[in-house]
Chains A and B, each alone.
Chain A
Amino acid sequence: MKKTYRIALSGILLALACTLSYIESIVPLPLPLGAKPGLAGIVVMFAFMKIDFPSAATITVLKSAFVLLTRGFTASIMSASGGILSLAVMLMLFRFTKSSTVMISVCGAVTHNIGQIIAAGLIMGSLSSAATYSPILIIAGCLTGSLTGFLLSLILKSCRVPLKTHLIK
């Protein structure tokens, strides 16, 4: 994959991730504690599956910067902690195991929530009160992760042919 193409594609994906993240924050859903579907996760997973890891990492970090500019410091810490932890876990699963798309997605979503719980606990100064939310957020992670994994698999199916033939130069 040519470098310029990589950068341009990452840029588009970053914009997409930020937009999805912003839309999610506007539209309230009946999930516990303001949990979100995490559609930006689809973008990040697509990035490390189809481009490479550094691009996915950059997208995650810059997305948190975007959140910092639009939603404030607390929200960006939550986004960063969840995003970086989940990216690390998803990458390990992707590289070292033969997990399926949905599984990686679920693990990513669950670790994203756990990362946020830890960050919230550290901000609050009390890890135990944040930890009481973990069971319900783990369940939410499994469910939203399944959804995003499913959506990603659909995208991958339809995207597979065009990307591979045009980009490997």
Chain B
Amino acid sequence: MNTRFLKLSEALIIIIVILLCLLIIFLRNGNNGKSAIISINGKTAAVIPLSKESEHFSVKGADNIFFTVHNGCIYVDSSDCTDKICMKTGKINKCGESIICLPKKVSVTISDSTENTDVIVG
């Protein structure tokens, strides 16, 4: 029967894992993304450049979820999902960060390049 509370070696393992994760989080920072890729159901629906300000827009295929691009960041400013975790995630602008709305199957990820789009007109 394992009734010990916690061994020192185990505590060390846990602490090391926590530190590694913190390290990954901080190492990831530093790459300001150039565009946000909005995917619905795993398929790319729109590539939004973070350089152009855009308020309260939605993407076809994702109903009632609105995004805003401001100061190089993108965030969900309103959504009618029940948990609203997407709104609580706040602003993202660095490569690797993402906002996910599970009920709507929408994900926004920051990409290092505007590789998908060659040019934007209009």
Contact = CB atoms under 8 A, between A and B. Distances in A.
A103 interface: yes
B35 interface: no
A126 B88 contact: no
B65 to A, nearest CB: 14
Given A132-B109, A133-B98, A34 B88 contact: yes
Determine chain A's interface SS by DSSP, over half rule: helix
Contacts of A149: 6
Given A124-B39, A142-B18, A129 B107 contact: yes
Interface string B107-118: 101000000000
Question: Which of under 10, 10 to 19, 20 to 34, or 35 or more describes the interface residues of B?
Answer: 20 to 34
A33 B90 CA distance: 10
Given A146-B14, A153-B5, A156-B3, A124 B100 contact: yes
Determine chain B's interface SS by DSSP, over half rule: mixed
Contacts of B121: none
Contact of A130 (B7, B85, B100): B100
B100 A142 contact: no
28 contacts: A33-B88, A34-B85, A78-B102, A98-B4, A99-B2, A100-B2, A100-B4, A101-B5, A103-B10, A104-B2, A120-B102, A123-B102, A124-B39, A124-B107, A125-B41, A125-B42, A129-B100, A132-B96, A132-B109, A133-B100, A138-B18, A142-B14, A142-B18, A146-B14, A149-B6, A153-B5, A156-B3, A160-B3
Interface of B: 1-7, 10, 13-14, 17-18, 21-22, 24-25, 39, 41-43, 83, 85, 88-89, 96-98, 100, 102-103, 105, 107, 109
